Structure 1
Amino acid sequence: MNTFTEQSKTNDQKPHCHLFQIKTNDVHTITATDYLPIGEYEKHVIIAPAMGVHQQYYADFAAWLASQGVRVTTFDYRGMGQSQSLPIKDYAHDILDWATVDCSCVLSHVLSQSQDKAVYWLGHSLGGQIFPLINGIHQVEKVITVASGTGYWRYNAAPLNKIAWLLWYVIVPVSTQLWGYYPGKRINLIGDLPKNVMRQWRRWCLHPKYCVGVESSAIKAKFNDISVPLDSLFMADDEMLSQKNWRDLVDLFGMQQKQKHLIHPAEFGEKRIGHLGFFKKRYAQSVWEPLLPTLLTKAK
């Protein structure tokens, strides 16, 4: 039974969404949004954001999934979007905190809410890089990554590769020192980010093995030992990451059950999708409808 098609044909009502908060175990608060389908559901998708992207960016995609009978939870990492309660320069956390604490708490909450449902982790870019570090990730049905790659600067796609050296060796060190955070909005590059997040990301992007190459042996072990099934989507016209970035990241994951899907926009009747485009509403019929029912299936 295709729950996507049946739900859309039999329900004219719109799915309900509501904002709520999750307390972390280190006294921070994560703001999340639930998109609830009409009636019963069998699948629950968590959408983990890209670097510098707020959960509202995924609202159309989440609402569409809910209209197809899938429950969806989106969230903002601490210090970002609706999870920011302090001036951004006052946040001292790094990406590992986002993964091991914020993402872990969101997953724990969802698992408690959907105990008899199939839970899927859908990570966009950064959200699809850090999932091996999440406590309890082995309990999800499948991980789906969209536009996720290592970020290693020498393999970045054009035009990013033309400014990557300047970004990592000049802009990031100087700006985080001057402002106390990374002022991405001022320079129209990525977005505002806490300084330790940006400095850690810089270290990752300067190493061919990304986070596995610069963090502890325990981090490497988590990547090696991950066993959850993976479907990894990559847009052939990604303007930030190259196919080598993508394939190198997938190679870092130790699971045996992993599938790579290279998406050519023309095959879906589109001229362009890019690094951020997959979640835009205009791709609902051309991209979402043919792809998502296949991806949101139980792993064999």
Structure 2
Amino acid sequence: MEHLTLHTDDGHTLAARCYRPAPGGAAQRVVFIGSALGVPQSFYERYARWLAGHGVVVYTLDWRGIGASAPKDLRRYRARLIDWALQDAPALMKLAQQRHPELPMSWFGHSMGGILYGLMPQLPQVDHVVTLGSGSGYHRHLAKPLRYGMGLFWHVMVPLSVARHGYFAGKRLNAVGDLPKGIIAQWKRWCASPEFVCSEGGAVKAAYACVTRPIRAVLFTDDKLASEAGIRAVHQPYTSSDVRYDILHPQDIGAASVGHFDFFHTRIGPRGWAHSLPWLGLSANPQQGDMHV
């Protein structure tokens, strides 16, 4: 595994990682893993290493304000959620393009990492797009019973935490994770509207409408954060794309439960992860030997 430092066009420095196939193994594809809100890239390491064993070069990153891309003090750190799509993802994609100009690419966005895809650069090399649990945060689109507690979250927990700490101290509350003030504020505005991200205005709607690559939107039925209605609401603005909805039961991948996060857990493991290979445009035949660390 290779640690990388990215520099965005607006002057931010980000931490990223690259996982490569075993020495001597030919890479067949690049896969970007777009992290969920507040989730560090280290969460995806086990799955990324497994993918590397299937002839894949995998790139992950910590969005600005998250994980190793966060400053020591979040109180004065300025960032917007939309910057992840407009600045951070392009920096990662540019690097991968320079390194692997000959390889096809896949975007695998988990939750927010999938929601924001429509605002990212539309690289000609990206021919497979997968979103997992990427649903709207508007209260009527949330899974039950989560929707019933969101008033308390947005109108009590968030403002009190931001007022006290200068950022949303989610780790202390066991909710989402620590988020800069600007990111939690923009997320709150989106969640107040049934249009969610597209409430940002016409330019955002136009960006989603310009996406032409087919998209595979995956949701597990035991996901307590995202609902089928929320998944469809997020993908509705892709008016020029063929969106395929895969509403799966955990048993469909041989698991007792998956929820919103556990697809990437080792208890799902290779048996369950193998189901994602065709999503990403990959062969089900792994390479021999261990991946390069």
User: TM-score normalized by structure 2?
Assistant: 0.91
Partner Cα distance (1:294, 1:269) in 2: 16
Cα displacement (A) at 1:97: 1.1
RMSD: 1.4
Cα shift at 1:135: 2.4
Equivalent residue, structure 1, for 2:206:
221
Residue type of the partner of 1:28? H
Q: Contact between 2:34 and 2:114, CA under 8 Å: does it hold in 1?
A: yes
- Provide closer, same or farther for how the CA distance between residues 255 and 279 of structure 1 changes in structure 2, counting only shifts above 3 A: farther
SS across alignment from 2:14 = strand
State the Cα distance separating 1:85 from its structure 2 match.
3.0
The aligned amino acid for 1:225 is C
Aligned residues: 280
Q: Is the 8 A contact 1:44 1:119 kept in 2?
A: yes
User: Residue 165 in 1 paired to residue 165 in 2?
Assistant: no
Return 5+ residue gaps in structure 2 as ranges. 283-293
Q: State the Cα distance separating 1:81 from its structure 2 match.
A: 0.6
Q: Partners in 1 of 2:127 and 2:256 — Cα distance?
A: 32
Output the CA distance in 1 between the equivalents of 2:78 and 2:166.
10
The answer to whether the 8 A contact 1:145-1:233 is kept is yes
Query: Are 1:55 and 2:41 an aligned pair?
Result: yes
Which residue is 2:74 aligned to? Answer: 88
In 2, are the aligned partners of 1:108 and 1:136 still within 8 Å (CA)?
A: no
Q: How many angstroms does 1:216 deviate by? A: 2.2
2:190 partner amino acid: W
Residues in 1 aligned to 2:36 and 2:223: alpha-carbon distance in whole angstroms: 14
Q: Aligned match of 1:131 in 117, 125, 129?
A: 117
Distance 1:91 1:156 in 2: 29
Establish whether residue 30 from structure 1 lines up as the match of residue 14 from structure 2. Answer: yes
Q: Is the 8 A contact 1:104 1:136 kept in 2?
A: no
- 1:189 maps to what in 2? 175
> Aligned letter for 2:3?
L
Moved over 6 A (4+): none
Alignment-derived partner of residue 21 in structure 1: 5
| Higher relative contact order (Cα pairs below 8 Å, separated by 6+ residues) | 2
Q: Distance in 1 between matches of 2:91 and 2:122?
A: 10
- C-alpha deviation, 1:228, in angstroms: 1.8
Post-superposition Cα deviations, 1:39-64, rounded to whole Å, max 9, x if no partner, equal 21110001110001000000000000
SS in 1 for 2:82: helix
Q: Which residue identity lines up with residue 67 of structure 1 in the other structure?
A: G
User: What SS does the corresponding residue of 2:277 show, helix, strand or coil?
Assistant: helix
- Provide the residue aligned with 2:281 in structure 1: 297
Aligned to 1:280: 265
CA distance in 2, matches of 1:249, 1:107: 23
**Shift of the alpha carbon at 1:206?**
1.3
> Secondary structure in 1 aligned to 2:212?
coil
Q: How many angstroms does 1:121 deviate by?
A: 0.9
| Equivalent residue number for residue 3 of structure 1 | none
Shift of 1:149: 0.7
Q: 2:71 touches 2:77 (CA, 8 Å); kept in 1?
A: no
Q: Give the distance between the partners of 1:203 and 1:128, measured in 2 at CA.
A: 19
Letter in 1 for 2:182: N
Could you tell me how far apart the structure 2 residues matched to 1:159 and 1:184 are?
Answer: 20
CA distance in 2, matches of 1:220, 1:275: 26
- 2:192 is matched with 206
Q: CA deviation at 1:139?
A: 4.1
Contact 1:107 1:136 in 2 (8 A): no
CA contact 2:63–2:84 (8 Å) conserved in 1:
yes
More helix by share: 1
* Structure 1 residues without counterparts, runs of 5 or longer: 1-16
Q: Distance in 2 between matches of 1:117 and 1:162?
A: 45
- Aligned position for 1:112: 98
Structure 1, 199-208 or 154-163: larger mean CA deviation: 154-163
Structure 1 residue identity aligned to 2:258: I
Larger displacement relative to structure 2 (181-190 or 170-179): 170-179
